[in-house]
Amino acid sequence: KNEVEQSPQNLTAQEGEFITINCSYSVGISALHWLQQHPGGGIVSLFMLSSGKKKHGRLIATINIQEKHSSLHITASHPRDSAVYICAVRFNNDMRFGAGTRLTVKP
Amino acid sequence: DVKVTQSSRYLVKRTGEKVFLECVQDMDHENMFWYRQDPGLGLRLIYFSYDVKMKEKGDIPEGYSVSREKKERFSLILESASTNQTSMYLCASSSGQGDGYTFGSGTRLTVV
């Protein structure tokens, strides 16, 4: 069983919709990362969280340490948000990755 | 702009060939990592290195080796490529335990 589970695996939305991607993990962590991977393959870091909530533009990430759960929200989604979103957790000296959520936003 | 550069975006190799994937970072990071990414499985750690000439096995090291002769360069070697090594390979680096990773653009390797 993967230590990091994401849902949904695939998500299709219409432009303007509010998007939520979920991440659950089963180990004690020191930090959680949300990453974005565009079709070309490169991965960029969106957020690093150890508690609470962070916001950057239309993106909001939250984490509940007690429930071992994090969510990534996208407000007013746009076709350029189409990408794979990956949740990753750091525990000990290791990083574990979820399988990713493929988001497609249609105009 | 800081970078992790992977030498090839796309590679096609034949079964049995020895394959070298190169990764160079310009951030003076101590830590470097090689992952492979397959649909539905996410990123899986092949090898990592916390220092020059140091290497540690990750979760799926079989069929691979690595070399880190200089701090900025971390090479992944497929000793004898097989079709089940067809995958996207991603290199990453970080400066320390509390930091996030910087990823390269990936190399999509096809073994025929």
Q: What is the pLDDT along chain A (107 residues), one digit of tens a residue?
A: 578 999 999 999 999 999 999 999 998 888 899 999 988 778 988 999 989 999 999 999 999 999 999 999 999 999 999 999 999 998 777 788 999 999 999 99
pLDDT value, residue A88: 93
d(CA A62, CA A41): 25
Of B9, B33, B100, the CB nearest to A33: B100
**Are A32 and A22 contacting, i.e. CB atoms less than 8 angstroms apart?**
no
Which tokens is A8 given?
A: 């949904």
The predicted-structure confidence for B48-63, as pLDDT tens digits, reads as follows 999 998 999 998 999 9
pLDDT at B103: 92
Q: B101 and chain A: CB distance < 8 Å anywhere? A: yes
DSSP letter for A50, please. S
User: Burial, A14: exposed, middle or buried (Cβ in 10 Å; 0-12, 13-18, 19+)?
Assistant: exposed
B108–A45 CB contact, under 8 Å: no
pLDDT of B98 over the 80 cut? no
Answer yes or no: are the C-beta atoms of A101 and A24 closer than 8 Å. no
The closest CB to that of A99, out of B41, B45, B88, belongs to: B41
Chain A contacts in chain B segment 43-72 (CB below 8 A) = 43-45
All residues of chain A having their beta carbon less than 8 Å from the beta carbon of residue B105 are 40-42
- Strands B19-21 and B73-78 come out as antiparallel
- Residue among A2, A9, A48 whose CB faces B100 most closely: A48
pLDDT, tens only, B27-81: 899 999 999 999 888 899 999 999 998 999 998 999 999 999 999 999 999 999 9
- Ordered DSSP codes for B12-77: EE-TT--EEE-EEESS--SEEEEEEEETTTEEEEEEEESSTT--EE-S--TTEEEEEEETTEEEEE
